[in-house]
Amino acid sequence: MGQNSVIVLLGASGNLAAKKLHRRGLLSDKLKIIGFDPTHMSHDDFIEHMKSCVDQSSPELEDYFKAFCERCSYITIKQDAGDDSFVELKNRMESFIEGDETQNRHFYMALPPSIYVAVSEQLHRNCYSEKGDSQIIFEKPFGHDLESSVELHKKLEPHWKESEIFRIDHYLGKEMVKNIMTLRFGNPMFGALWDCNHIDNVQISMTEDIGTEGRGGYFDDVGIIRDVMQNHLVQIMALTTMERPGSFSAEDLRQEKARVLRLVPPLEAKHTVAGQFIRTKDGKHPGYKDDDDVPEDSRCATFCTTVAYVRNARWENVPFILKSGKALSESKTEIRIQLKDTTDAMLRNTSHNQLIIRIQPNEAVRLKMNAKMPGLELRTVETELDLTYKQTVEDPDIPEAYEALLLDAFRGDYSESVSEEELEASWKIFTPLLHELEGNKDVVPAPYVYGKRSSKKP
């Protein structure tokens, strides 16, 4: 990013991860940041807002923040004023250009999906860079189901090419998710076992020990499947199951992920359990429907576990158990790969070998295996090889997910952007299940108490 570049944060009260890239010295001196939002704020108000989001606990951090603020400015979007605010944005960006130099423009859409199309049209009409690259950056959700996702793409297509659209799934920026390919393809001992001949099942889970915490109104329109499973868990599954790409280029990597997702049949309700959390007996933790913004008759799932299969020779008959939920007993995200039982009759009471990739918290890779119990008798004991980053790597520098993804976006590296083909394939997997769960009023999520571990399995 050594050339003239501008980052426009649409919905400037949203993500400000660019400040972390500044701390790492990864932003060009010529890069400028413009907040662009309907909230009426002066430049000083904008800086004060950012102060509340930034760690300034040391003089060094204070100096970083002051330098960061010198890059920043703010424009209040004048609603019902047509293109006027977008023309003002264009003029502001052009004021940063010196002579004949080119300028790259990155538009970060921290906005409600309902206005994606209208705003993207105005950006292209008024702010598209004529002498540099333009890029529009979206966060999930990308549609509500397959039909709406396809429709969204069709409406963006006349104005923005696929090579100019960066779709963020922030789980792709997490260190341990990025590590999946290295573990698979950089270690022959895992590669030799990575198939249905050796693996019994794969469990991919993301659970939280908090509820919707005042976001019930938003969550009720989304549910746990759209919020987590159709995007985060599917991307993890794709990285776990795809064939080795021809290279780690964006094109090859995204092509292999899309290819394996097309081999996953639509999920079935008979292999799915949905739940909704209720208040604790002591009333300390409220239930989902206790939120004032949630309808009393809501059938929104706050927990779901389901089983997916990949229809190819490598993964024949291997169940992939996907699980996600709120208000459970603990917060964690992990991949648990369970190998088949040993067939050696002389060894008794052995446990399944398991490879566990802990994505968060406490990033780790653990291998559960059997060993001989010390002593004169042949007895086995389960033991564990443990690579916990914070224990084995001194002061591990683990970047935040958005930090990694935004840097990729600014550099034009699309390897961790969700492609249109991946998106369409993932919606094909989940849309029939969503329609069945939501369209059939006889399907009511099973209640579970806030903070209790769900014991139901498909």
Residues annotated as part of the active site: 232
> Which among 199, 425, 433, 223 has a CA at the least distance from the CA of 320?
199
User: Six-digit token pair at 425?
Assistant: 């394939």
Using alpha carbons, list the distances in angstroms from residue 407 to 22, 152, 172, 413, 425: 10, 25, 13, 8, 26
What secondary structure letter does DSSP report for 288?
A: G
Report helix angle 116-127 to 84-94, nearest 10. Answer: 50
CA distance 144 to 119: 19
CA distance 102 to 109: 23
Cα torsion angle, 314, 319, 324, 328, sign: negative
- Adjacent-strand bridge partners of 321: 203, 307
Rg (CA), the chain: 24
CA distance 445 to 116: 32
CA distance 93 to 134: 12
Helices marked H in 195-315: 216-220, 223-224, 234-241, 250-261
Amino acid at site 199:
I
